[in-house]
């Protein structure tokens, strides 16, 4: 039996241009890296915030096997509309339904558990409970799986602490939410892969996938964010490439992937 599983995890996919980026890059990366599993965070799938039936149908054509969510996932439609969608939404959020607490997929006779957890810091949401206690209490339920964790959080310190907290207990802890990739992809002392933030798949140039002028105006006037996605000619694609040892359930290789491509496809 092959001794490793290769995984590609895409950071937050932002709007239609992000979905286009996945469609353009994934066939190339499938040939180049030959992943056994592709995962993506899709909480910003529908025009930068939430999911819709239409946008989910669109992303399901790309070959992604499992999805993760975040604090924006249910902004447009109730997650009950997506009971059959293979998405893991945050285990410490009251909005998460039973079917989405975690997702299981079997590859090379190995059971894989994909888990999502929300950070508390700066989230301003009273429905979020302590993420460290939530994941600690969940681990016995999935201890026999190869475990992949998406921590969707604002604070870099909270993400890094979660990495060390879970080191040796899960295969990888992958940070999402800020849309800005960090240069710290690493394997922690006890074998858990880690990155503070994978980054996004979205418009380039932009500010976290949103029109830069809109965000500048927000900071000048202290106005609410308007999720206005620019009609950009380029797409920034950020993902994590992992190799996980089947026997130990630990990460053996980790690499951040970042490319800027033309919105029409191909290198920019």
Predicted confidence (pLDDT) per residue in 110-124, tens digit: 999 999 999 998 887
Total structural domains within the chain: 1
Q: How far apart are CA 192 and CA 16, in angstroms?
A: 33
CB atoms within 10 A of CB 132: 17
In this prediction, residue 265 carries a pLDDT of 63
Note whether 19 and 210 are within 8 A (CB): no
In this prediction, residue 167 carries a pLDDT of 98
Residue 73 lies inside a defined structural domain of this protein: yes
In this prediction, residue 79 carries a pLDDT of 74
Q: How far apart are CA 82 and CA 73, in angstroms?
A: 11
> DSSP letter at 142?
G
Has 72 been annotated as catalytic?
yes
Overall average pLDDT of the 9-21 stretch: 96
With cut-offs at 50, 70 and 90, classify the pLDDT of residue 31.
very high
- Asked if the model's pLDDT at residue 71 lies above 70, the reply is yes
Residue 268 lies inside a defined structural domain of this protein: no
Look at the block and give the residue holding tokens 């620019």: 230
CB atoms within 10 A of CB 180: 14
Residue 85 lies inside a defined structural domain of this protein: yes
In this prediction, residue 268 carries a pLDDT of 41
Q: Which of residues 65 and 223 earns the better pLDDT score?
A: 65
Residue 106 lies inside a defined structural domain of this protein: yes
- 196-245 pLDDT, tens digit each: 999 999 999 999 999 999 899 999 998 887 778 888 889 999 999 999 99
CATH code for the domain of 139: 3.60.21.10
**Average pLDDT of the chain to the nearest whole number:** 93
With cut-offs at 50, 70 and 90, classify the pLDDT of residue 266.
low
Residues of the chain with pLDDT > 90, as a percent, come to 81
Residue 250 lies inside a defined structural domain of this protein: yes
Residue 86 lies inside a defined structural domain of this protein: yes
Residue 138 lies inside a defined structural domain of this protein: yes
In this prediction, residue 75 carries a pLDDT of 79
SS (H, E, C) 72-112: CCCCCCCHHHHCCCCEECCCCECCCCHHHCEEEEEECCEEE
Output the pTM of the full model. Answer: 0.95
* Strands of the chain, DSSP E: 4-10, 12-13, 37-41, 66-68, 87-88, 102-107, 110-118, 146-152, 172-176, 186-187, 193-195, 200-204, 234-245, 250-262
Overall average pLDDT of the 135-155 stretch: 97
- Asked if the model's pLDDT at residue 159 lies above 60, the reply is yes
Alpha-carbon distances, residue 67 vs 4, 51, 57, 156, 164 (angstroms): 21, 12, 13, 22, 24
In this prediction, residue 81 carries a pLDDT of 83
Neighbour-count burial of 16, counting CB atoms closer than 10 A to its CB (0-12 exposed, 13-18 middle, 19+ buried): middle
Q: Which domain holds residue 142?
A: 4-262
Note whether 236 and 263 are within 8 A (CB): no
Q: How far apart are CA 105 and CA 114, in angstroms?
A: 8
- Asked if the model's pLDDT at residue 80 lies above 80, the reply is no
Alpha-carbon distances, residue 232 vs 16, 95, 168, 217 (angstroms): 11, 33, 41, 19
Active-site choice (47, 72, 177, 256): 72
Instruction: Name the token pair of 142.
Output: 């999935």
- Asked if the model's pLDDT at residue 148 lies above 50, the reply is yes
- Asked if the model's pLDDT at residue 60 lies above 50, the reply is yes
* CA 98, 63, 17, 180 torsion-angle sign: positive
Residue 23 lies inside a defined structural domain of this protein: yes
């Amino acid at each position: 039996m092959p001794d490793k599983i290769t995984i590609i995890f895409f950071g937050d996919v932002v709007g239609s241009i992000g979905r286009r980026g996945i469609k353009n890059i994934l066939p190339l990366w499938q040939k180049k890296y030959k992943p056994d599993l592709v995962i993506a965070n899709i909480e910003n799938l529908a025009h930068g915030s939430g999911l819709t039936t239409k946008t989910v149908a669109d992303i399901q054509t790309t070959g992604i096997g499992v999805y993760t969510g975040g604090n924006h996932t249910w902004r447009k439609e109730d997650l009950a509309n997506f009971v059959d969608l293979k998405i893991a939404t945050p285990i410490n959020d009251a909005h998460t339904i039973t079917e989405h607490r975690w997702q299981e997929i079997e590859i090379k006779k190995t059971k894989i558990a994909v888990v999502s957890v929300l950070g508390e810091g700066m989230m301003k949401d009273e429905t979020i409970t302590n993420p460290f206690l939530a994941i600690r209490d969940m681990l016995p339920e999935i201890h026999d799986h190869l475990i992949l964790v998406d921590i969707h959080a604002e604070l870099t310190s909270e993400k890094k602490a979660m990495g060390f907290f879970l080191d040796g207990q899960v295969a990888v802890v992958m940070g999402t939410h800020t849309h800005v990739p960090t240069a710290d992809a690493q394997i922690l002392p006890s074998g858990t892969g880690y990155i503070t933030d994978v980054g996004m798949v979205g418009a380039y140039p932009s500010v976290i996938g949103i029109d830069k002028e809109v965000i500048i105006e927000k900071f000048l006037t202290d106005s609410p964010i308007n999720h206005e996605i620019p009609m950009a000619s380029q797409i920034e694609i950020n993902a994590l490439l992992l190799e996980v040892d089947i026997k130990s359930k630990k990460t053996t290789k980790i690499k951040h992937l970042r490319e800027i491509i033309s919105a029409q496809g191909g290198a920019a």
